Structure 1
């Protein structure tokens, strides 16, 4: 991989946005869309909304976090849970 390829990859990561979601699996796209319509949800709420298995939701969230389009924070009501939010518009 050349220096220009690395620089291009880094600029794509910084851009984020729906372009970054386009190359992800369908489950990640579905999770992103559900988060677009809901301000913030836990992993179990996402599984309920998408009708995907929890393990698939967990994988989708990991992929979405890797490309920088989803952020997470601890839940104030239950510190064992994380709340996920879409960071793109």
Structure 2
């Protein structure tokens, strides 16, 4: 889905415009992480770094920004409590 598809979906009321509008104001790295989470239900920070080809530090910054605007949830992994799993809250 491209940015123009998201804009059309927002105009039609098919998606949560508040969430995507908040993401649009964020840096490109945060937008990329949000899109990867949109296509994958849950990922860890290291999985996001692998999928986006971004450095771990950049992914961590992007996740913090996404959490600040309330579009990403995180929880501890049941498989490895040292890791957190991230999920996009925008439908």
Q: What is the aligned residue count?
A: 75
Q: Alpha carbon RMSD of aligned pairs, Å?
A: 1.0
Unpaired runs of 5+ in structure 1?
A: 1-14
1:80 counterpart SS class: coil
Q: Which residue of 2 aligns with 1:52?
A: 54
CA 16–71 in structure 1, closer or farther in 2 if over 3 Å, else same: farther
Unpaired runs of 5+ in structure 2?
A: 1-16
Indicate if the aligned counterparts of 1:18 and 1:88 stay in contact, CA closer than 8 A. yes
1:49 counterpart SS class: helix
Deviations 1:21-69 (A, max 9, x none): 0000000000000000000000000000000000000000000000000
Question: TM-score under structure 1 normalisation?
Answer: 0.82
Distance 2:71 2:36 in 1: 13
Distance 2:59 2:33 in 1: 7
Larger Rg: 1
Please list, as runs of the form range in 1=range in 2, the aligned pairs for 1:40-79 lying within 5 A after superposition: 40-79=42-81
Distance 1:74 1:54 in 2: 18
Distance 1:87 1:74 in 2: 16
